[in-house]
Structure 1
Amino acid sequence: MIEIKNIKKSFGEKTILQDISAVMEAGKCNLIIGASGSGKTVLTKCMVGLFKPDEGEIIYDKQNMLSMSDDERKQLRQQIGMLFQGSALFDSMTVEQNVMFPLDMFSNLSYKDRKKKADEVLDKVALKEAHKKFPAEISGGMKKRVGIARAIVLNPKYLFCDEPNSGLDPQTSLLIDKLIKDITTEYKITTTVITHDMNSVMEIGDHIVYMHQGKKQWEGSNKDIIYSKDKLLNDFIFASDFLQDAKEMRMMQEKGEIEKNDERL
């Protein structure tokens, strides 16, 4: 679990985060959503220690990261997995070598054991057959899966995903969402996802924080969104007439006003 309390952050005279508080729960996909410039990326960078908040606390399982010693913070970072927006794979390394990289840096395992562990997580993301390929030889969706394998190879307690579906087709995006959800649930990871993908919001949004102009505007689950009356949230999530109609029909379905097999759905 990660708890953020009253986080404030400014750059010069420009205030980016205004008194943000939320709890990212273990074993759940916690999504941070909002328009560009809403502060979600700055908040995430504060959470992982890349930025220091001007005020507030960031608590990892009852330990305040901001008051940790350098050694304690280093140990914490070894429990954090990162899936970057562009996957950030090393072009000169094979898929297997990319996944082994965190083990090379932070573990004392033998080469044989590091290789075995890398192959295990590649098998987990259904990529064991691609372990000798280079990033240029695989698709965008496969690169994302390699990125996920690398992010979980050290058995992290916390996982951060930055736009995991960026640049992917809808079908591949659904596969990535399912993979992130399954890994989160199986290993009881505290997963935080920054996303603009509304399919992800509705598919895996166990807990959602919607940010608007540096403030937490709304908080709830993907089921709560259907009934939300927050205009800013609804304008963001259900931006088109089609999606607004879909929301209204889903509400009617949940209330029993139309049948679940109604052809309009």
Structure 2
Amino acid sequence: MIELQDIRKSFGDKEILKGVSAVMESGKVNLIIGSSGSGKTVMMKCIVGLMGVDSGKILYDNQDFTAMDEKEKKVIRQQIGMLFQGSALFDSMTVEQNVMFPLEMFGTGTLKEKKNRVAECLERVQLKDAAKKFPAEISGGMKKRVGIARAIVLNPKYLFCDEPNSGLDPQTSLLIDKLITELTKEYNITTVINTHDMNTVMESGDHIVYMYQGLKQWEGSNKDIVFSKDQRLNDFIFASEFLREAKEIRQLEMFKDGNWRNQLNKGEGKQP
């Protein structure tokens, strides 16, 4: 798991993160959500070490990442997979070569073993037949799946995804969500996703941190959200009439399942 303990981050006199504490759990899809300027992107960059925090601690399985030297941080980073918003594939490399890249940088074993690992990952994301193609020859959804294959090729303990559904059609977005969820459960990965996609929130959000103006406003699961009484969260998640109606339908479904009492009690989420 990854634990944040009272992390703070400022740029000049502007405080972006104002003492955020949260736990990102292993084997679960952990989401960071919030409107633009809420601090969620800075928070993710701090967690992966792209930015240093001003104060507070970030613990990877009880190891203080913020207190490590560069050599120690490199060991942790080798256990991290990253799916970038724009896929960030190398245009001059084939799909196979893109997935191979982390293995060439950090992997061990023979070339044959590395190629076998690449083939396994491409088969897992259903892209085995696209191995010899270049990024320009495949669709946006396929590029995302290549990015996922590259992110998992080193068998990471931690997977970070920055807006994984950005620019994708709704059907493809659902496929990407499903794939990330399956991989998270299958390999017991601590997955952290920065997203604006409400389908991802409602379908994949095992654990959700809602950020508001640099603070953790609410914390809970996608089931807790349905009964949330936090007005800021409700205004953000259920902004349209259509989504408010969808919320009511989901509540009715949960009433029928007899699961509503527990969720109603949990609907307040964990307050900061």
TM-score (structure 2 length as normaliser): 0.93
Q: Which residue of 1 aligns with 2:31?
A: 31
Amino acid of the residue matched to residue 63 of structure 2?
Q
SS of structure 2 residue aligned to 1:255:
helix
Report the Cα offset of residue 25 of structure 1.
0.3
Q: Please show how residues 245-260 of structure 1 align to structure 2 within 5 Å.
A: 245-256=245-256
* Alignment coverage as a number of residue pairs: 257
Decide whether the 8 Å contact of 1:209 with 1:219 is kept in 2. yes
* Cα separation, 2, equivalents of 1:36 and 1:209: 15
Q: Which residue of 1 aligns with 2:191?
A: 191
* Cα separation, 2, equivalents of 1:230 and 1:181: 27
Q: 1:165-198 CA deviation, whole Å, 9 max, x = no partner?
A: 0000000000000000000000000000000000
Report the Cα offset of residue 249 of structure 1.
3.0
Segment of structure 1 superposing worse, 189-198 or 64-73? 64-73
SS of structure 2 residue aligned to 1:37:
coil
* Cα separation, 2, equivalents of 1:83 and 1:255: 37
Decide whether the 8 Å contact of 1:8 with 1:19 is kept in 2. yes
Q: Please show how residues 107-126 of structure 1 align to structure 2 within 5 Å.
A: 107-126=107-126
* Cα separation, 2, equivalents of 1:3 and 1:172: 32
Decide whether the 8 Å contact of 1:6 with 1:21 is kept in 2. yes
Report the Cα offset of residue 119 of structure 1.
0.7
Decide whether the 8 Å contact of 1:103 with 1:109 is kept in 2. no
Report the Cα offset of residue 247 of structure 1.
1.2
**Is 2:168 the counterpart of 1:168?**
yes
SS of structure 1 residue aligned to 2:19:
strand
Q: Is the alpha carbon distance of 1:256 and 1:156 closer, same or farther for their aligned partners in structure 2, counting shifts above 3 Å?
A: closer
* Cα separation, 1, equivalents of 2:246 and 2:113: 50
Amino-acid identity (%): 70
Q: Please show how residues 1-265 of structure 1 align to structure 2 within 5 Å.
A: 1-256=1-256
Amino acid of the residue matched to residue 101 of structure 1?
F
Report the Cα offset of residue 256 of structure 1.
4.2
Amino acid of the residue matched to residue 249 of structure 1?
I
Amino acid of the residue matched to residue 11 of structure 2?
F
Decide whether the 8 Å contact of 1:79 with 1:154 is kept in 2. yes
Q: 1:198-227 CA deviation, whole Å, 9 max, x = no partner?
A: 000011100000001111000000000000
* Cα separation, 2, equivalents of 1:76 and 1:227: 37
* Cα separation, 2, equivalents of 1:173 and 1:107: 30
SS of structure 1 residue aligned to 2:166:
coil
SS of structure 2 residue aligned to 1:52:
coil
Segment of structure 1 superposing worse, 111-120 or 7-16? 111-120
* Cα separation, 2, equivalents of 1:206 and 1:226: 13
* Cα separation, 2, equivalents of 1:237 and 1:93: 39
Q: 1:53-110 CA deviation, whole Å, 9 max, x = no partner?
A: 1110000001000111221111110000000000000000000000000000011222
Amino acid of the residue matched to residue 34 of structure 2?
G
Amino acid of the residue matched to residue 89 of structure 1?
L
* Cα separation, 1, equivalents of 2:66 and 2:176: 32
RMSD, aligned α-carbons: 1.0
SS of structure 2 residue aligned to 1:229:
coil
* Cα separation, 1, equivalents of 2:175 and 2:253: 27
Show structure 2 runs of 5+ residues with no match: 258-272
* Cα separation, 2, equivalents of 1:28 and 1:113: 29
